[in-house]
Amino acid sequence: MNIPRNDPTEEIEGLGSEEDAGWGDYPIDTLLIRHESRTVFDVVRRINQGSFVMDPDFQRSFIWDDTKQSKLIESVLMRIPLPVFYLAEDEKGRMIVVDGLQRLSTFKRYMNNDLELQLPEQEELDGKRFEDLSSKLQNRIEDCNLVLYIVDAKVPERARLDIFDRVNSGVPLTRQQMRNSLYMGPATIFLRDEASTPIFKQATGGSLRSSTMRDREFVNRFCAFQLLPIDSYNNKDEMDGFLARALKHMNQLPDTELKALSEDFRRSLRNNFFVFGDHSFRKHQPGQERRGVVNASLWDVMTTGLARIPEDLVQARKEKLLASFYTLMDDELFICSITYGTNTAREVRHRFGVMERTLAEVFDA
Pair (187, 314) in one structural domain: yes
The predicted structure's pLDDT at residue 115: 95
Is the domain of 46 the same as that of 195? Answer: no
DSSP 8-class letter at 2:
B
pLDDT band of residue 62 (cuts 50, 70, 90) is low
Stretch 192-198: mean pLDDT, rounded?
Answer: 96
pLDDT at 184 over 90: no
33-53 pLDDT per residue, tens = 888 999 999 999 999 998 888
Inside any domain, residue 6:
no
Looking at the fold, whether 248 and 356 belong to one and the same domain comes out as: yes
pLDDT of residue 185 exceeding 70:
yes
Residue pair 244/157 in contact (Cβ under 8 Å)? The answer is yes
Q: Where are the beta strands (DSSP E) in 199-247?
A: none
**Stretch 278-305: mean pLDDT, rounded?**
95
**Alpha carbons 143 and 140: distance in angstroms, whole number:** 5
Do 177 and 326 fall into the same domain? yes
Residue 10 counted as domain residue = no
Structural domain of 47:
32-154
Q: pTM score, two decimals?
A: 0.73
- Average pLDDT over all residues of the chain: 87
Q: Give yes or no: residues 184 and 327 share one domain.
A: yes
Residues 140 and 222 in one domain: no
- Residue-wise pLDDT tens digits, 147-163: 998 888 877 777 777 77
pLDDT of residue 163: 72
198 and 95 assigned to the same domain:
no
pLDDT tens-digit readout, 93-141 = 888 887 888 899 999 999 999 999 999 999 999 999 999 999 999 999 9
Indicate the number of domains in the chain: 2
Q: Which helix (H) or strand (E) holds 149?
A: strand 145-151
32: left (phi over 0), alpha (psi -120 to 50) or beta: left
Q: Do the domain assignments include residue 3?
A: no
Q: Return all residues near 58 (Cβ < 8 A) that are at least 6 apart.
A: 96, 97, 173, 177, 178, 180, 181
Please indicate, yes or no, if residue 21 is contained in any of the structural domains. no
Q: What pLDDT was estimated at residue 339?
A: 94
| Burial of 18 from C-beta contacts in 10 A (0-12 / 13-18 / 19+) | buried
